[in-house]
Structure 1
Amino acid sequence: MWIIGVDEAGRGPLAGPVVAGAVALPMPIEGLADSKKLSAKRRALLEAQIIEQSHWATGVCDVEEIDRLNIFGATMLAMTKAVANLVSRLDGPISIVLIDGNKTPEGRVAQWCWPARAIVGGDAIEPCISAASIIAKEHRDRVMRALHEAHPHYGWARNAGYGTAEHLAGMREHGVTAHHRRSFAPVAQLCLI
């Protein structure tokens, strides 16, 4: 019986996808913690261990899905995609899916079909959720660094798409891209100008 941890990265940024990670840990991994509390170097080392020693998957919702569903709906869908991707590679039944936060996709996404429990602050107390948060953040950060190469005016390699002064200045000077979330107020306001 597998216990799967799930967390997301990228709910708050003005640009880029929302990414969910799902991880089942066959054995403990030392040093797991909330990805936001780890240094970039430590996170990268832990990601390599998670990839090597656990079962993991990601689920991604792009900007179009975020704008169509809203960020909450897209986050729930990304979590569902991540768990479905992971379950398709696991042998044996799922005991429970532990999700960081106060809501689960159960009853919100038609494809969700696993027992689930939301845990506020779960990324700091449940190792499988901590691992999922690391997988999600590292995956999303790589996406944003790649997008930065094509669109260097917004500082995405540094700000991961969050609404920093640098990013907002880039939007005012260079406009918005196809990677910006038009349903988010700062982007929507610039689109009206």
Structure 2
Amino acid sequence: MEEDAAPAAVSSSSGTFTPPSVSDHRDALLSGATFSHFSPIPPSLLPTDPSDPSSAPPCVLGVDEAGRGPVLGPMVYGIFFLPADISDPLLRDTHHFDDSKVLSAAVRSQLMETLCTPGSDLHESCGWATTALSARDIGANMMRPVQYNLNAQAMDATMDLIRAVYAKGVNIKEIYVDTIGPPASYQAKLQRVFPTAKVTVAKKADSLYACVSAASVCAKVTRDAALEKLFHARQVATAAANGEEAPVEEGTMEWGSGYPSDSKTSTWLRNNMHPFFGWGPECRFSWSTAKDMLEAKGNGVKVEWPADEDGETSRLTDFFASGGEEKQGSELASWFGTPASQEAF
């Protein structure tokens, strides 16, 4: 699912900003689907001559992710792009973007709200997009017979986002990516896919390049808001199952950060595991944390699946009657009269 959407200023009950990358895709999020969101492209970034893409100002684009390791919630890839000549002055000097991990939740929320507010300098000069790879899809892909691993899913999400920005007419000349593996091989692959741009893949890119810092903020705020919505939906479903009144607003997330190392997360998983179905679409079933809990003795219901029947073992002669059946007469042959023996010929 992919959608361009006008920004919408929404706040959760905790007072943090809910970006349109979550508020505009509530149904997809709660159903466990993977989805993408693209901000409107500022007119200043589009070509002055529609027939000449190079007439658009040269832009830099940064890529970063949030939520690679958690057992709960989506992994979100974010991209951020703006004219190369204003990147550091606008992002670093004016708004003090940095790696999202070193910024407080309140600062990240405020930066994202400014970015989504029409008339602000960020909104008028910059574009951004996110892809939320759902926990359900991450787990299902990793458990395929031919595994579609997390690095491959991340690479595809990155390339799809960048391709979409090119398709919208933005003149991307430099791409900066926070690495998900060995930087050299990742950079070489992206350079082959996007030969007209200079590609730089580096460790700690979210602290080295301003556009990557901004992408990390978009990804982190989107993931945090998505976690809030997923937790509230889980509360509502649990209350309904127990015949209780559903909570009206999001409260403190009892499942913590969603990381396996978080004691709140592991406690919540143990206390909210269905013995047959496990958990909802908020959980990555391919993670060892979830698999171990389901497979532990006394926790889940053990299911043994029968081996698939091999449909290639039948012989051509299996479709013909045996000698004993011939003596009793063939029903098909008798439709056309009394069967004749071979001696008749």
TM-score w.r.t. length of structure 2: 0.50
Rounded to whole Å, the distance in 1 between the matches of 2:67 and 2:170 is 30
Rounded to whole Å, the distance in 1 between the matches of 2:254 and 2:268 is 13
CA RMSD of aligned residues (A): 2.5
8 Å CA contact retained: 2:62, 2:79: yes
8 Å CA contact retained: 2:255, 2:265: no
Match of 2:178 in 1: 100
1:91 to 170, 173, 185: 170
Larger fraction in helix: 1
Match of 1:11 in 2: 68
User: How far is 1:61 from its partner?
Assistant: 1.6
The answer to whether the aligner puts 1:148 opposite 2:231 as a matched pair is: yes
User: How far is 1:165 from its partner?
Assistant: 0.9
Question: Is the alpha carbon distance of 1:106 and 1:19 closer, same or farther for their aligned partners in structure 2, counting shifts above 3 Å?
Answer: farther
> May I ask how many residue pairs the two structures share in their alignment?
189
The aligned amino acid for 1:98 is Y
Question: SS in structure 2 opposite 1:22?
Answer: strand
Match of 2:249 in 1: none
Match of 1:31 in 2: 96
Gaps of 5+ in 2: 1-57, 117-122, 142-147, 239-251, 274-278, 297-345
Question: SS in structure 2 opposite 1:182?
Answer: coil
The answer to whether the aligner puts 1:165 opposite 2:263 as a matched pair is: yes
Segment drifting more, 179-188 vs 82-91: 82-91
Rounded to whole Å, the distance in 2 between the matches of 1:156 and 1:106 is 41
Structure whose alpha-carbon radius of gyration is higher: 2
Rounded to whole Å, the distance in 2 between the matches of 1:157 and 1:190 is 18
Question: Is the alpha carbon distance of 1:173 and 1:91 closer, same or farther for their aligned partners in structure 2, counting shifts above 3 Å?
Answer: closer
8 Å CA contact retained: 2:255, 2:268: no
User: How far is 1:106 from its partner?
Assistant: 6.0
Gaps of 5+ in 1: none
- More RCO (CA 8 Å, sep 6+): 1
Segment drifting more, 169-178 vs 3-12: 169-178
Q: How does 1:60-79 map to 2 (within 5 A)?
A: 60-67=132-139, 68=141, 69-79=148-158
The aligned amino acid for 1:183 is S
2:206 to 104, 119, 123: 123
8 Å CA contact retained: 2:81, 2:126: yes
Question: Is the alpha carbon distance of 1:160 and 1:81 closer, same or farther for their aligned partners in structure 2, counting shifts above 3 Å?
Answer: farther
Match of 2:5 in 1: none
Rounded to whole Å, the distance in 2 between the matches of 1:117 and 1:99 is 6
Q: How does 1:41-56 map to 2 (within 5 A)?
A: 41-51=106-116, 52=123, 53-56=125-128
Identity %: 26
The aligned amino acid for 2:178 is D
User: How far is 1:139 from its partner?
Assistant: 0.7
User: How far is 1:179 from its partner?
Assistant: 1.9
The aligned amino acid for 1:162 is Y
Question: Is the alpha carbon distance of 1:34 and 1:125 closer, same or farther for their aligned partners in structure 2, counting shifts above 3 Å?
Answer: same
The aligned amino acid for 1:100 is D
Q: Deviations over 1:62-113 (max 9, x none)?
A: 2243221232222222222332333333433x212110125437648x9x54
User: How far is 1:54 from its partner?
Assistant: 0.9
Rounded to whole Å, the distance in 2 between the matches of 1:46 and 1:12 is 24
TM-score w.r.t. length of structure 1: 0.85
Match of 1:178 in 2: 281
Question: SS in structure 1 opposite 2:218?
Answer: helix
8 Å CA contact retained: 1:156, 1:167: no
Question: SS in structure 2 opposite 1:159?
Answer: coil
